[in-house]
A and B are shown apart, each in its own frame.
Chain A
Amino acid sequence: MNRSRTAVAAGLLAVVALAATACGSSSGASSAGTTKAATAHSAADLGGMDALVAAAKAEGTLNVITLPRTWAGYGDLMDNFTKKYGIKINDANPDGSSQDEINAVKQLKGQDRAPDVLDLGSSFALSAAAANLLAPYQVATWKDIPDAQKDSQGRWYNDYGGYISIGYDAGRVKTPPTSIADLAKPDYKGMVALNGDPTKAGAAFAGVYAAALAKGGSVDDIQPGIDFFGQLKKSGNFIPVGATQATIQSGQTPITIDWDYLQVSAANTLKGKVDWKVVVPSDGLYANYYNQAISATAPHPAAARLWEEYLYSVDGQNGFLQGWARPVELAAMQAAGTVNKAELAALPRVSGNSPFPTEAQLDAAKKVIADNWAKTVG
């Protein structure tokens, strides 16, 4: 990517504002072990896990980005990683987006505070891989990740996912909705919200996709989903408030369409304040996975690789499960009996299979959303 001018701009800013940090960069980071780590495609390349742990400990720091502590168990995962290896984690911009992650990789390149590892939506992982921003790496449990859910070169691999679900405040919603079609009922006037703007927020985009599947659309046709929300807007059911735990607690968004792991997490956080229930709708089943990737220009390449090993270990995968997300190695863990059964049982019931749109289908759907969302729902 030749973004030289932006780089100059970012560089100039960095020199002016962060002279001290910039000067301090790559002092310890250019040791022999680290240079080797930057090109390691597996722990074996470095001489095994012990060598990787030693190299990561020598770096002492891991820069992650856009990991909210209440998202998919990341709060505990980060704490436990630090406890286990004594490596400090800096979490930049916790509420940011995938695009923010890519921007940070490009703009902070060469600095100590550039991100080491990324948690990306699928299309961002693909485009970042194509732009050579990602380092190929295969974790020890590589074979446990289904083939369809990883890049053959190991530049990105699914980490956790979930289903679009309907959360509702059982104290205020007398007859609980069980399907997306239910949301059009007059009882739910002024109650139904998405997690943000579907042209921007992945979870809201997925919510519209799920609605499309429920209302006669398909992975090739998201328009019925947009029309459905247009209808909800007209009937006054849809409120364009971006749902968060705060809006749930304050009662602004009594019915929220969002990823099931975020909803169950909200239900647990708000226990005693709001009786938040979560169902996966019977008519629009839609699942999606996020991806792990290592930045090709990670300032702490060994710590980055150790973080991936940790996330794909039994502890890490069960950590996602503790955050009510479905870890990518779930099937292998169930077969091996290493899965935390109690946590698995706490997840909302799902019946049926979610379709997985291809990249081309996703791109087409995004174009339709960008063109028509504001027009139909506004």
Chain B
Amino acid sequence: MADLTSRNRRRLDLLGLLPFLAYVAVFLGVPTVSVVVGAFQDDAGGWTLSNLGAAAGDPYLHAFVVSTEISALTAAIGAVVGLAIAFAVSASPPGGVLRQVVSTASGVLAYFAGVPLAFAFIAAIGSQGLVTKWLGALGLDISGFSLFGFAGITLVYLYFQIPLMVLVIFPALEGLRPQWREAASNLGASRWQYWWLVGGPLLLPPFLGALMLLFANAFAAYATAAALTNGIIPLVPIQIAAVMSGNVAVGQENLGNALGLGMILVVALALAGYAWMQRRTSRWLR
């Protein structure tokens, strides 16, 4: 329309954004506020710090430690393995079959989580799993490996952590222009020198950013762990479920809110780190 001034145009844009903002307010803003406020309230609605005190004490502090351990471990392994895969694939010809297969598979697998993933693993390598039985028939007994513990969770988490790493690191690898490498070798740099002085420093921020994202991803995962461990791994989201919607503990909703607040803080920190690294990356990745 010809008579649409730029100011009107901007207003119209804002109007278009409104449904999204309303959505965010209702499904992110309101619940967050209710969790934060609830964390500071007692059962009768009075203000208190006792929930936070309980959340920072035994056994919940331990849950934060275990959650952090699992998230850090799976993020580290996922990041390293994912980087290696992405690196191998980026060396393949652009538009090739390998590239398409890996990026499509990563896109699908990175979001294959939750209860279905847990059951897929139970059906495959659980005590009555198909693979377990096959290997058993071949005389290989893997029933000693418990899918239902720390090692099991780590393995299952890697199933979605590695593909996520491939997805997020791939653009950064693509951003490394071949020209830089050619320039470096024209100047007499060895392969090692190129990676140490050019490639490495350029890849470090996106790598660390991806690490943060993977950490947050694992930290917030709930359904997979809940379906797999039945409470014998004390992860924070599982503890929240126990106090918020259990048949055993009574009147501890606000402790759940306090634990939720703790999770919000940890994940917010990780994502802030991710955003900061992303900003550094975008300076050269265009």
Contacts and interface: CB of A to CB of B under 8 A. Distances in A.
A binds B: yes
Interface of A: 1-6, 9, 12-13, 16, 96-100, 103, 121, 123-124, 126-127, 131, 190, 194, 196-203, 205, 233, 236, 239-242, 250-252, 366, 369-375, 377-378
B34 A6 contact: yes
Among B143, B144, B250: residue with most chain A CB under 10 A: B250
Nearest to B63: A374
Given A6-B34, A200-B241, A127 B149 contact: no
A103 B231 contact: no
Interface stretch (B37-45, B161-169, B178-186, B277-285): B37-45
B68 to A, nearest CB: 15
B51 to A, nearest CB: 14
B232 A233 contact: yes
Contacts of B251: 127
Contacts of B26: 12-13, 16
Interface string B8-45: 00000000000000100010001101100110000111
12 contacts: A5-B34, A16-B26, A98-B246, A103-B244, A197-B230, A240-B229, A241-B122, A242-B230, A252-B128, A371-B58, A372-B59, A378-B149
Interface string B229-254: 11111100011011011111111010
Contact of B127 (A100, A252, A372): A252
Nearest to A377: B232
B242 A370 contact: yes
Contact of A123 (B62, B150, B250): B250
Contacts of A123: 250
B34 A205 contact: no
A124 B30 contact: no
* Majority secondary structure of chain B interface residues (helix, strand, loop or mixed): loop
Closest 7 CB pairs of A and B: A197-B231, A2-B45, A202-B247, A374-B234, A200-B246, A240-B230, A200-B242
A4 B245 contact: no
B245 A202 contact: no
Contacts of B248: 121, 198-202, 205, 366, 369
A12 B246 contact: no
Contact of B246 (A199, A252, A378): A199
B64 interface: no
Contact of A196 (B230, B233, B234, B250): B230
Given A200-B231, A371-B59, A373-B231, A5 B246 contact: no
Contacts of A196: 230-231
A6 B127 contact: no
Interface string B126-148: 11100000000000000110001
B246 A9 contact: no
Contact of B148 (A16, A97, A203, A240): A240
A5 to B, nearest CB: 5
B62 A127 contact: no
B231 A9 contact: no
Among B45, B62, B122, B128: residue with most chain A CB under 10 A: B128
Contact of B244 (A1, A99, A131, A197): A99
A38 to B, nearest CB: 25
A71 to B, nearest CB: 12
Nearest to B149: A378
Contacts of B63: 374
Nearest to A365: B248
B30 A205 contact: no
B167 to A, nearest CB: 32
A96 B239 CA distance: 16
A139 B182 CA distance: 88
Contact of B37 (A5, A127, A199, A377): A5
B127 to A, nearest CB: 5
A374 B232 contact: yes
A127 B250 contact: yes
Among A2, A100, A197, A375: residue with most chain B CB under 10 A: A197
A199 B235 CA distance: 13
Given A99-B247, A190-B143, A201-B248, A251 B232 contact: no
A240 B250 contact: no
Contacts of B127: 190, 239, 252
Given A98-B247, A250-B128, A1 B231 contact: no
Nearest to B233: A378
A251 B34 CA distance: 43
A9 B33 contact: yes
Contact of A239 (B144, B148, B241): B148
A131 B234 CA distance: 30
Among B30, B144, B230, B242: residue with most chain A CB under 10 A: B230
B148 A124 contact: no
Nearest to B227: A242
Contacts of A241: 122, 126, 148, 230
B33 A378 contact: no
Contacts of B38: 5-6
Nearest to A131: B43
B245 to A, nearest CB: 5
Contacts of B37: 5
A9 B31 contact: yes
A5 B31 CA distance: 10
Contacts of B238: 197
A9 B34 contact: yes
Nearest to A251: B128
B128 A197 contact: no
B154 to A, nearest CB: 14
B245 A375 contact: no
